[in-house]
């Protein structure tokens, strides 16, 4: 019977450990989903709105942050559209004082893609953010 050298055993063990530690993308396997943005920010006048998507338990959480950098109170209409084919949310009216920030949440289906819509009170000026998709579960 042929003896295996210690060096051969160590090299084999190292190669096995390395192979087991490879991610799916590094090993050539298909990723679960293509890399898509999970956050985006835009301006509407003197106001900035950002959306952040995260997987939260069994839903996708959409956190939106509205920062009013202007000198007067502003009112906005905010909603999301599930561009993967799910339902559209209802519109929410949000009032943000001058110099203040408002944080709100919507929840949708896991692994779906969403656009966030924000318009001024009269819905004559609007911005659309996304599409965004939830990242793996992490804290806000």
Q: How many CB atoms lie within 10 A of CB 119?
A: 17
Percent above pLDDT 70 for the chain: 71
Cis omega before residue 131 (within 30°)?
A: yes
Residue 43 resides in a domain: yes
CATH number for the domain spanning 87: value is 2.60.40.10
Q: How many domains does the chain have?
A: 1
Residue 56 resides in a domain: yes
Cα 37 to chain centroid, rounded: 6
Distances (CA, A) of 83 to 31, 96, 98, 113: 21, 28, 32, 6
Domain region containing 124: 39-133
Residue 6 resides in a domain: no
Sign of the CA dihedral 54, 103, 44, 91?
positive
Residue 10 resides in a domain: no
The pLDDT tens digits of the residues spanning 93-102 come to 999 999 999 9
Residue 104 resides in a domain: yes
State the pLDDT at residue 135: 79
The pLDDT tens digits of the residues spanning 2-15 come to 555 544 444 444 44
Task: Give the residue with greater pLDDT, 25 vs 137.
Answer: 137
Residue 139 resides in a domain: no
Beta bridge partners of 96: 74
Residue 23 resides in a domain: no
Give the pTM: 0.72
Residue 51 resides in a domain: yes
């Amino acid at each position: 019977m042929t003896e295996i050298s210690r060096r051969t055993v160590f090299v084999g063990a190292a190669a096995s450990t390395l192979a087991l530690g490879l991610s799916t993308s590094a090993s050539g396997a298909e990723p679960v989903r293509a890399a898509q943005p999970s956050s985006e920010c835009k301006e509407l006048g003197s106001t900035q709105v950002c959306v952040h998507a995260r997987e939260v338990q069994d839903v996708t959480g959409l956190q939106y942050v509205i920062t009013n950098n202007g000198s007067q109170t502003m009112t906005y209409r905010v909603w999301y559209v599930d561009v993967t084919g799910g339902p559209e949310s209802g519109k929410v009216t949000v009032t943000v004082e001058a110099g203040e920030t408002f944080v709100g949440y919507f929840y949708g289906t896991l692994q779906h893609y969403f656009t966030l819509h924000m318009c001024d009170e009269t819905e004559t000026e609007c911005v659309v953010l996304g599409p965004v998709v939830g990242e793996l579960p992490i804290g806000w």
